[in-house]
Amino acid sequence: MDTIITKSLSEKLIIDIVSPPPKDLKSDKNISKRAIFKRPFLDDFLRFCFQRFEVAIWSSRIRFYQH
């Protein structure tokens, strides 16, 4: 798994996680024939981020990554 977390002086947090999907678990949701898995403690992590940071979410402009 590759993880990049950056925190600047202006209190911004950037996270990028890339890992293969688990093969032995049922997905939480399927979008465009892709399995979506909710990571453990995701809700707690998001709550922490929204309480402490200005959160922005974006996607690559390449159509392949936009689902």
Burial of 53 (0-12, 13-18, 19+ CB in 10 A): middle
Instruction: Locate 23 and state its tokens.
Output: 């093969």
What's the pLDDT tens digit per position in 4-52? Answer: 555 555 566 666 666 776 678 788 888 888 778 888 899 999 999 999 9
The residue behind tokens 């032995």 is 24
- At 47 the pLDDT is 94
pTM of the predicted model as reported, rounded to 2 decimal places: 0.45
Closest C-alpha among 6, 31, 8 to residue 17: 6
